[in-house]
Amino acid sequence: MLRRALPRRPEARRILVGTLLSAIGRGLTLPFLFIYLTDVRGLTDARAGLVIGWYGAVTLALSPLGGTLIDRFGARRVVLPCLLIEAAGTGALALVHSSASAFLVVTVIAIGSSAIWSGQNTILASLTDDGERQRVFGLNFALLNLGIGIGGMTSGAIVDIGRPVTFQTIYLLDAVSYLMPALILLTLPGVGRRISSAAAGDRPSGGGYLTVLRDRPFRRLVVFGLILTTCGYAQIEVGFTAYAVRVVEVSPRVVAWALAANTVMIVLAQLVVIRRLEGRSRTGALAAVGAVFATAWLVLGAAGLVGTGNALVAALGVVACSAIFGFGETMLSPVMPALTNALATDELRGRYNAMSSMIFGISGVIGPVTAGPLIGAADGKVWVVAVVGGCLLASVVALSLRRLLAPAEDGRARDAVIPEPAPVSA
C-alpha cells in the first residue's frame, strides 16, 4: 500500500521526505510552548495566551498575501524564504526572556509559517495529477503525524522544567528541522516555479481572490470546511481537553494517551483509507467525515455521563473519542486538498490553497472562544450538542456540493490510463 501511495515523480517523493523531517522537529516543541513561556520564562498565563493568540492572528492575516505571492512568483520563491524565516524564529524562541521578546519572536515565526502550508500543497499539486493527488496528500498527512509523534516522544524524554537548557535544545533542533525541506527544495531547481497561463493552456484569470470567491463549488467547499473545522479540529485543543478534564474528570495523563491514540490511528489507518477512497465520491467522503467527527463527540459525551462513576470506562471513552476523530482525519486529509486543487486553475492555485488553509485559521479563532462558555453550560451538554450538530450540518453541506461538481472533480471518474507527467526541466 505504501508503494502504491508514493507519487510517481521522484521530486514529489523528496518533498514528502522533507515533510517527515520537519514534522519531527515540530513534534519536539508542539506541546510545550505554553509551558515554556509560563513555567520556564515566567510569563503569566494570560500573557502567554496572548502571545499564542497573536501568532494565530498574524498567520491568518498574512495567509492571503502568501497565496498571491505564490501565484505571482512561484511557490519555491515564497516557500524557501519562509522556511528560513521560520527556522530563525523557532531558534530564537530559545532566547526569549520577556513578554516583548516573546511577541517579537512569534511574529517572526508567524511571518514564516503564513505561506509554508499553502506553498507546499501547491508544489505537491504541481508534481502530481488528479489521479494520484488524493493518495499523495493522504500520505503527506500520515508522514506529518508520524513525524510529530516521533518528535513528541523524543522531547517528552528530554524536557525538564527545572532545566531551561532542555527547552532551548528542542527549539534549536526544531529550527534545524525547518532547514531540511529548504535544502531538499534547493536540490530541485525546476520545482515550484510559476506556471504561466500560456503554458497551462488557460485563459488569463483576473480579479485574484475575487475570481476564487466567484467559484461557486469552491465557496460551498469553504463553507463546509469552516463548519467542520470549527466543530471539529478547533475543539481539540480547548473543547476536548477542557471537557475531558472538567466534565469527565480524567487526569491530564489520560488526555495525553488520547492524543497518542489519535496519532497511532492516523499512522496505521491512513494508507488503508487512501486505498478505499479511490474512485469513490469525494463529497460522500467529506460527508462521512462529519458523521465520524459527530460520533467521536457523542462518545466523549457518553464518557461525561459516566464520569467518576466508573473512572476506567470514562478514560476509555476519552481515548476512544480521540481515536475515532483520528479516523475521520484520515478521510479528510487526502480529500480536502485534492478537491481544492481539482477546482483550482494553475494560475490561481496558490490563492485556492491559501484560502483552504485559512479555513483552519478562522475556525482556530472561533472554536476556542466559543468552547469555554459552552462547556460551562449544563455540565458541558450544550457543548456536546453544538459540536455534534455542527458536524452533522457539515455533512449536509458536503452532500449539497456533489451536484455542483463534475464526476471527475468529485473523484467518481478516472481515466483508464493516467498519462505520465512531463519531466521537470532542471
Cα separation, 130 vs 192, in Å, equals 17
pTM: 0.84
Spatial contact of 195 and 257, defined as CB atoms under 8 Å apart: no
pLDDT for position 301: 94
- Distance linking the first and last C-alpha atoms of the chain: 30
pLDDT for position 310: 86
In the structure, what pLDDT confidence band is assigned to residue 321 with cuts at 50, 70 and 90? very high
pLDDT tens digits, one per residue of 73-129: 999 999 999 999 999 999 999 999 999 999 999 999 999 999 999 999 999 999 998
Domain with CATH 1.20.1250.20 in the chain: 1-194, 212-413
pLDDT for position 129: 87
pLDDT for position 206: 56
pLDDT for position 420: 44
Give me the CATH topology for the region 1-194: Growth Hormone; Chain: A; (1.20.1250)
What CATH architecture does domain 212-413 belong to? Up-down Bundle (1.20)
Secondary-structure percent of the chain, ordered helix, strand, coil, rounded to 5: 80, 0, 20
Residues 131, 344, 390: CA angle, nearest 5 degrees: 90
Reading the block at residue 67, the C-alpha cell is 497565496
Reading the block at residue 46, the C-alpha cell is 494570560
Cα separation, 356 vs 367, in Å, equals 17
pLDDT tens digits, one per residue of 324-361: 999 999 999 999 999 999 999 988 999 999 999 999 88
